[in-house]
Amino acid sequence: MHLINFKDLSGQQLMEIIDKGIDIKHNPEKYRTILDSKSLAMIFQKTSTRTRVAFEVAMTQLGGHALYIDWRTTNFALADISDETQYLSRNVDCIMARLIKNVDLQSMAKASRVPVINGCDEKYHPSQAIADLITMKEKKGTLESVKLVYIGIHNNVCNSLVEGCTKSGVKITTVTPIFNEPSRDNELLENAKKTGLWETTLDIRKAVQYADFVYTDTWIDMEFFQDSKFDAEKEKRIKLMMPYQINNELVKESNAYVMHDMPIHRGYEISADAIESPKSVIYEQSKNRLCSAKATLLKLLEKY
Ligand code: CP
């Protein structure tokens, strides 16, 4: 079993991962040696703080070992991805990869003899969504009929939230004036629509009114953030998206918790006052990447 997105997981299986994550968070000693002698290869084509740290610390705290591999310093950069994966998967027990293109991740999964975890590509960010669902369940005690409003660009994080929420009983409203076309997955959106749990609107104030959580993410994909070729698009997006910033004025009449998957661009998708307000669960949410990583690894390595 791989974790590329949530398509191959039933709602029940996803709930098992969320509940396992919460159990591991509160009872870490129960799991100290469960991955004894297991190795995880972590391959990165892009930058990361949380995904790298969460999976590496997860392996250490579960009794196993993680190898950080920068794509550019390996022969993945030179050779066929399938051949390199054939080799790699004969030496490790699991692979976590943050690749630029989902098509490459699919090739890796096809060639691998061991589970492959998507550490974020242009279409999906499933390990982030698991941490987000854990955060919501911890705060509300249940996911059933909890209301999440995602405000920003419809991107990889948004796709995984739509898929994860609609599979776990969360009502999700997306307020996304821009659709990041490389992220588009019509099948995922059609499936979400059929559940009746996903709706989309541009009426940000109405959407926020009854929200339990409001969530935002970067307006620019990480690989383009410091790319001067993307400057014009960046300016265009900032102008169009500023009215959709999460700030204290927007949530002043709401009891909603504020979420962000980080890294944060202060003053753009979210204001400093919203990040630091008592309603913010952002840092707790990022901490939950660790128990999310542990629960995902144990699921894929068939430990429950
Ligand atoms: N949210 C997230 O994936 O963080 P990193 O990009 O730092 O891994």
All domains in the chain, ordered by first residue = 32-121 (3.40.50.1370), 126-286 (3.40.50.1370)
* Residue among 47, 48, 99, 220 whose CB has most ligand 1 atoms within 8 A, to mutate: 48
pTM of the model: 0.97
Q: What is the pLDDT of residue 7?
A: 97
69 vs 48: CA distance, rounded Å = 12
- Whole-number Å distance, alpha carbon 50 to ligand 1 midpoint, is 5
- Whole-number Å distance, alpha carbon 263 to ligand 1 midpoint, is 6
Atom 7 (ligand 1): residue with closest C-alpha? 49
* Residue among 47, 262, 270, 285 whose CB has most ligand 1 atoms within 8 A, to mutate: 262
- Whole-number Å distance, alpha carbon 253 to ligand 1 midpoint, is 30
219 vs 291: CA distance, rounded Å = 27
pLDDT mean over 242-254:
96
Identify the burial level of 200 via C-beta atoms within 10 angstroms of its C-beta, where 0-12 means exposed, 13-18 middle and 19 or more buried.
Answer: middle
Task: Reply yes or no on whether the pLDDT at 222 is more than 90.
Answer: no
- Whole-number Å distance, alpha carbon 126 to ligand 1 midpoint, is 12
The pair of structure tokens assigned to 4 is 């590329």
Q: What is the pLDDT of residue 224?
A: 73
For residue 115, what pLDDT band results from cuts at 50, 70 and 90?
Answer: very high
Task: Reply yes or no on whether the pLDDT at 234 is more than 90.
Answer: no
Pocket of ligand 1 (CB under 6 A): 48-51, 120, 128, 261-263
